[in-house]
Amino acid sequence: MSAREKILDAAAEVMRSHGAARTTTKEIARAAGYSEALLYKHFRDKEELILCVLKERMPAFQGGLSPGEREVAANLADLVHRGLNFYLRAFPMMASMAAQPRLMATTRDSMRQYGAGPHVVPESLAAYLRAEQGLGRVAAAADPDAVAALLMGACFQQGFLRYVADGPDGPDIPEAEARALLAPVLPALGL
């Protein structure tokens, strides 16, 4: 395993235990068994490291939505399932940042710099739904932005509730719960 991979594994573990806000790069380097200088050879700053942990060490969230491939409902069920588990696992890492306004502002600026942030997934989901509308696989009257907001909001809320109920080491959210969340939205999409 490369040094970068070990650093990401250590960062994910330390951030899950202490939250991203309270975690220092020194702690991450120590947990990985490397110097802090080596950490900075692989990552520009702590914010880039956090974003890489979210992308590479959390349950996959984005991807898998190719217009015209598979059934739309199956694609959405997969995305909702991934979203539920992403938020379940990401919540303990990110909650400490949200509680500190100055740190949240810095994080928000960093996310913009790296082209990341919570808006990316609903925007890409809405774009996918618009593409499916263009192919005639989603109702022309459907509102892709509203559907994306509803689904991602539900994922966030249910992931949070499951984290509160089961804690950080609770089981993944089953696929059946993703399908149940999606079911009321399908008629609005003409599915």
The answer to whether the Cα torsion of 24, 115, 97, 160 is positive or negative is negative
| Rounded-to-integer distance, Cα 171 and Cα 88, Å | 9
Phi-psi region of 57 (alpha: psi -120 to 50; beta: other; left: phi over 0): alpha
Q: What is the pLDDT of residue 95?
A: 75
Summarised one tens digit per residue, pLDDT across range 67-97 is 999 999 999 999 999 999 988 888 877 777 7
Residue 110's pLDDT is what? Answer: 73
Q: What's the length of the chain?
A: 191
pLDDT of residue 167: 84
Domains of the chain, CATH where assigned: 3-54 (1.10.10.60), 59-189 (1.10.357)
Q: Residue 182 above 90 pLDDT?
A: yes
pLDDT of 63 above 70: no
CB burial of residue 129 (10 Å; 0-12, 13-18, 19+): buried
- Are 151 and 124 contacting, i.e. CB atoms less than 8 angstroms apart? no
Please state the pTM of the whole predicted model.
Answer: 0.80
CA distances from 176 to 77, 86, 104, 122, 162 (A): 9, 16, 34, 21, 14
- Asked if residue 82 lies in contact with residue 61, where contact means CB atoms within 8 angstroms, the answer is yes
Percent of the chain topping pLDDT 70: 96
d(CA 59, CA 52): 12
pLDDT exceeds 80 at position 64: no
Mean pLDDT of the 108-120 span: 75
pLDDT band at residue 62 under the 50/70/90 scheme: low
- pLDDT, mean over the chain: 88
At 130, the pLDDT band (50, 70, 90 cuts) reads very high
Q: How far is CA 137 from CA 64, 73, 132, 188, 189, in A?
A: 17, 10, 5, 12, 9
Mean per-residue pLDDT, 31-35: 94
